[in-house]
Amino acid sequence: MPELPEAETVRRGLEAETVSRGIAGVEATGPRSVRRHPDPGELDRRLRGRPVEAVGRVGKFLTLSAGGEVLVVHLGMSGQLLLSDGRDPRPKHSHVVLVFEDGSELRFVDPRTFGQVFLSEGHEPSRRGRPAELAHLGFDPLTDGLTAARFATRLRARRTMLKALLMDQRFVAGIGNIYSDEILHAAGLRYDHPASALDDDQARALYRHMLRILRASVRLGGSSLSDLQYRDVHGRPGRYQERHLVFAREGMACAGCGGPIVRRAWGGRSTFFCPRCQPAGRAPGPA
């Protein structure tokens, strides 16, 4: 957390508010947040005086292009990018702040410091201009235009269990614990179903459900859990959590069959599913 829909919500907010703004300076006071830069002042030297030209995203990573430089941001578990007019006090844990020429600020706030901010050292031409540091990531479901047939072929070539594969950032970029559970429930497939055991219809339907759920979450601003740590650039929480059907709903009634949602420990995390709607081998319903 945050995952692809939350990162895309932040990207859209940044694109609307920061493109064409000139960067007056960068204040990096959290060494762990800029751990790829032994000298935190490097961000200020390389970005000062450059205008923000574009805001992109690859999976959970955000990119700000500014005069030939690319600033990469990963929100980690608790990171926020918050816009301010510069007159209100900075929140605690504002580890990196971009100060714009008009006095406004973009603040990277990260209490748990698992996120990071760094300047890319180049691009990987074979991955359509992605920063080199992100070249290892798999396809992005909302931007890379992979067809359902191609996804099905890639999926069925893997013997990995479905949830592990959906969360493997080298296979598909941006999906984590929340949306893997929601996507698999919608597709009627268990978390431990081997990808290679899917038939072609199941694999294609899984792809359609993945796109549908990710797009629906973006429309509602992503998911904010009970801690409300995820917020958009204006500090507003998401609303898609109101539509979660299995995630963090242990013991509650399944919307599909009325049976109880079950939580299982899996890979050091909790996974949520409906045993009735998601038995092994069940064909998914219509997307």
**Residues 71-81: tens digit of each pLDDT:** 999 999 999 99
In angstroms, the CA 202 to CA 61 distance is 29
Nearest to 65 by CA among 112, 113, 123, 142: 123
**Rounded to whole angstroms, what are the CA distances from 118 to 47, 77, 169, 264?**
11, 17, 19, 36
CA angle 63, 146, 56 (to 5 degrees): 10
Marked catalytic residue, from 3, 6, 27, 133: 3
Phi-psi region of 122 (alpha: psi -120 to 50; beta: other; left: phi over 0): left
269 is catalytic: yes
Marked catalytic residue, from 2, 40, 131, 284: 2
Marked catalytic residue, from 11, 46, 57, 60: 60
pTM for this entry: 0.94
Q: Are 70 and 63 in contact (CB under 8 A)?
A: yes
Whether 284 has a pLDDT exceeding 60, the answer reads no
pLDDT band at 129 (very low <50, low <70, confident <90, very high): confident
The rounded mean pLDDT for the chain is 94
Tokens read off for 5: 């829909």
2 is catalytic: yes
pLDDT tens for 132-157 read 999 999 999 999 989 999 999 999 99
In angstroms, the CA 249 to CA 220 distance is 20
Place of tokens 């268990």: 190
Q: Give the torsion sign (CA, 110, 170, 271, 233).
A: positive
pLDDT score, position 104: 98
Cα(first)–Cα(last) distance of the chain, in Å? 25
Percentage of the residues of the chain whose pLDDT score is greater than 70:
95
pLDDT tens for 95-107 read 999 999 999 999 9
Of 31-45, 120-134, 207-221, 226-240, give the lowest mean pLDDT range: 120-134
Of 97-101, 124-128, 169-173, 222-226, give the lowest mean pLDDT range: 124-128
pLDDT band at 229 (very low <50, low <70, confident <90, very high): confident
In angstroms, the CA 140 to CA 159 distance is 21
163 is catalytic: no
**Rounded to whole angstroms, what are the CA distances from 177 to 75, 169, 201, 286?**
15, 12, 24, 23
pLDDT score, position 283: 46
Alpha helices, DSSP H, located in 20-96: 41-47
Complete domains list, the chain, with CATH:
4-134 (3.20.190.10), 148-273 (1.10.8.50)
